[in-house]
Amino acid sequence: MCGFCGFLAESESRTPVGLEAVARRMADTIAHRGPDGDGVWADEAAGIALGHRRLAIVDLSPLGRQPMLSADGRWVIAYNGEIYNFQDLRAELEAAGHGFRGHSDTEVLVEACAAWGVERTVKRLVGIFAFALWDRRDRTLYLVRDHLGVKPLYWARMNGTLLFGSQPKALRAHPAFRADIDRDALAAYMRFSYVPAPHTIHKGVFKLEPGSILTVRPGRDPERTVYWDMGEAARGGIADRLSLSDEDATDALETLLKDAIGRQMMADVPLGAFLSGGIDSSTVVALMQAQSDRPVRTFTIGFGEGDYDEAAHARAVAAHLGTEHTELRVDAAHALDAIPRLPEFYDEPFADSSQIPTLLVSEMTRRSVTVALSGDGGDELFAGYNRYFWGPAVWRRIGRLPAGLRRGAAGLVRSVPPQGWDALFGLVPQSRRPRQPGDKLHKLAGVLGAADEDALYRRLVSQWDEPDSLVLGGREPRGRLWDDGVAAAMPDFVERMQYLDSVTYLPDDILAKVDRASMGVSLEARVPLLDHRVVEHAWRVPLSQKIRDGKGKWLLRQVLYRHVPRELIERPKSGFAVPIDSWLRGPLRAWAEDLLDERRLRSDGYFDPAPIRACWAEHLAGTRNNQHRLWSVLMFQAWKQRWGTASTAAPLAASAA
């Protein structure tokens, strides 16, 4: 796992500074992604330069160094990721007469592209990857991102130069970078707490979407083609359902997961796994341990606040499986110390507050291993999110009610503050009590006015429901969540939510969060549940084998129960969260007040201060928990304070001249 960057400049836009020098300075901004080595390659005549930072995982020798040329000298690659079936591809290439110098998956990737072509090769890859491939003969650049979007890839065309890299900060280091904040993208960010692809916070800078190849040919605009599509996988799976008994379905899924997890245990460096004690991570660890001749190293963190502490569950699972378990107890001060560092790691506004524990567990894990497997993706594939249950249930009950009656019910729910509902739910047995019931009921009140199922879903995944009125001069772009064709293709509401989560929330929030946190501390995070073969299989599994008896992930649970007693797993679902709500009223209050100062907001000119100040006042008074909405504003303000709109290139160019 690594980081890469580069640029392709038209002749009239070439920088007076040498191409290699600029590429090296771009790569230096993402040194955290690859502390084990660096490299640059440039062709002054063609105006192309590639930079690379290496985190050595497979083939630690210099033969794995990048950028790497193909044996015939035609192709040059800079690559971030892991190809888990590279040994199979290598054997096939060797059988066809191709020789290899080293043992890295990078060499197999570049030689496969040379032998089979780019699109044919990427369709055969099993792995997580993003790469830039330069064809020296045809002077064509290919930018490629993996099926699910596990690995990031940003690109832009500015002042006659095409820029690209693993993170926006690499693009910023090029002298051509001049991007203002995109107010439309900011509006989208305020709804979701992340900027949805293909947009970024900067005008003219884009995320390459998952499953895509961006081809840049001389004298032409970049052309994006799709080699794998989640929509096609979903529609194909729904049209070709598996018809297996429960036992056979469990066997089939376990066999596939064992293969995916076994392949991802490949590494020439120490390897472990994140373990929360939940279904997804426990399944991954259980199947790792089943294929290992030594105890798997597992890692978790625990918080002092009882409602947020999952460490005891992880500890119990680890003890049963016999893993070598490490647990870090985190107090509020430890977590609060991480908050000022967040804009440095997340160099685009990002406001999923679970970024804090994700960063902390990554830091702890990196002290012991270089690779960690995680359980991300299980909720989207096997219907684990709470909204998949109570969203349809709510709509069945309210969909036919007059809008006025629904608004009245919403007002009644809101008349009791979240703490009041929490106290009432204190009478419910803990095993059946949802976490933070007051917050959930207030969120329910927010969806009672939805016009249809899709509007209800948008409310469920929104922080600010009307971001255009909040962002001055912003008009939110309408993406997949407003596409009427999705409902026609996927009439089942639960499956539609699964699909929409898989193409928005999963790559742009969950995977971005894990990538920045793990790579920020030079840790490779692998996601075996998101092997695209598992994804395609999951879409063929009938919904009746995903949701049963009011619980999601039924089939995944059956695999897990073959290895871990169900009593260690059965409990209400909880996220990887921290108590931002109370911190904002306590130790974070002064920090937040400074960023939310009305004069500051007005002077910056991005937000209407009135709704933000009202939101802040409600939260401080305890009449409503506005932690998520406020965190979105705070993370943008903190990001802008760190990065603003200025390029980092000017001093770099000057120092190189």
Collapse the DSSP code of 77 into the 3-class scheme (helix H, G, I; strand E, B; otherwise coil) and give the result. Answer: strand
Neighbouring C-alpha atoms within 13 Å toward the C-beta of 483:
16
DSSP 8-state code for residue 294: S
CA atoms of 204 and 114, how far apart (whole Å): 31
Element of type H or E holding 113:
helix 105-116
Q: Taking the C-alpha atoms of 516, 522, 528 and 531 in order, what is their torsion angle to the nearest 10 degrees?
A: 70
Identify the bridge partners of residue 40 per DSSP, sorted by sequence position.
51
Query: Helices 437-447 and 387-398 meet at what angle, rounded to 10?
Result: 50
Residues 6+ apart with CB under 8 A from 423: none
Query: Helices 609-621 and 627-642 meet at what angle, rounded to 10?
Result: 130
CA-based nearest residue to 89, from 115, 108, 70, 106: 108
CA atoms of 278 and 282, how far apart (whole Å): 6
CA atoms of 350 and 200, how far apart (whole Å): 11
CA atoms of 527 and 438, how far apart (whole Å): 33
Query: Helices 453-460 and 387-398 meet at what angle, rounded to 10?
Result: 140
Query: Helices 453-460 and 437-447 meet at what angle, rounded to 10?
Result: 140
Positive or negative CA dihedral for 253, 259, 262, 266? Answer: negative
CA atoms of 330 and 313, how far apart (whole Å): 16
CA atoms of 327 and 333, how far apart (whole Å): 17
Residues 6+ apart with CB under 8 A from 577: 308, 353, 354, 357
Q: Taking the C-alpha atoms of 33, 34, 39 and 44 in order, what is their torsion angle to the nearest 10 degrees?
A: 0
Structure tokens at 512: 């971005």
223-226 and 140-145 strand pairing: unpaired
Residues 6+ apart with CB under 8 A from 425: 433, 434, 437, 438
Structure tokens at 136: 């020296």
Phi, psi of 604 (to 5 degrees): -65, -40
Percent helix / strand / coil, the chain, rounded to 5: 50, 15, 35
For the chain, the distance separating the N- and C-terminal CA atoms, rounded to the nearest angstrom, is 32
Whether residue 548 contacts residue 395, with contact meaning beta carbons closer than 8 Å, is answered with no
Positive or negative CA dihedral for 427, 429, 433, 436? Answer: positive
Longest dimension (CA), the chain: 74
Whether residue 141 contacts residue 132, with contact meaning beta carbons closer than 8 Å, is answered with yes
What positions carry a catalytic annotation?
2
Structure tokens at 297: 């190293």
Residues 12-40 as b or e (16 or more Cβ within 10 Å = b): eeebebebbbbbbbbbbbbebbbebbbbb
